[in-house]
Amino acid sequence: MIFSGTGDYYSAGVNLGGTLKLMAPKKLHQLIVEHNQSLFDKYLTFPKPILVAVNGPAIGASVTSATLCDAIIAANTSTFSTPFAALGITPEGCSSVQFATLMGEKNAQRMLKKEGWRPNAQEALTAGLVQWVVPKDQLQAQAQKIAQQWVIDGRRRKILGGIALSELQAVNKRESIELANRFFGAEFLRGQFTFLWRKKKHLPSMVFLLLWLLRPLWKRFYDTNISFQSHARLRLVIVNIILNRP
């Protein structure tokens, strides 16, 4: 299978605002764990070889999921960004081990930690994140050529880096739990507020700000099944007050 995007961009990653929903904290935590683990397990257990053809900028989960495939060919216009530290969240998609395996510990930390290194296509090739770089207008043709050769060779599924499937599945499970834990943390809520505010998405940014400021109040419900609905109403009331202030 050739996995690619359309137009000038490969993928902007996960829409966190569309992922999180109001519900009991314990249930929300479980939902985040299950959905995140399921997403990357689909890549890990896909039965056929996957060639990722990155046609432009790739962000977050679109980068980490690509490293769970057989190989990556990138257009020369591509960039690779995993801004987990900037968002106040932990690595996902097995990147806590896959990045170091493919690029070495130093480059892995540059991408995953606060430096937020965003290598371009040539830098990613030199580091070992991708295996081929071609001009953008040749990407699909070259990807097709590689995939056809795989068919001729009878290639079987082989995840980049050579780590055993069972080990990567265990890493995915651990990372999913750590990610869900972080979603309830002050650093993540503050990071989302800052990120959305810089994007001029003021209303959703204020929701995260209020969640952060009110965290001491709702955090005590984390281990219970008490509904978030009453707290949601309170947050919306405060948002309306703030937005309608002169």
Percent of the chain with pLDDT over 70: 84
User: Phi/psi of residue 244, each to 5°?
Assistant: -100, 5
Q: Give the pLDDT score at 215.
A: 73
Residue 86 is predicted with a pLDDT of 83
Q: pTM for the complete prediction? A: 0.82
Q: What region, left, alpha or beta, does residue 158 occupy, with left being phi > 0 and alpha being psi -120 to 50 degrees?
A: beta
Query: 105-112 vs 95-103: helix axis angle to the nearest 10?
Result: 130
Averaged confidence pLDDT in the chain: 86
* Per-residue model confidence as pLDDT tens digits over 47-90: 999 999 999 999 999 999 999 999 999 999 999 999 998 888 89
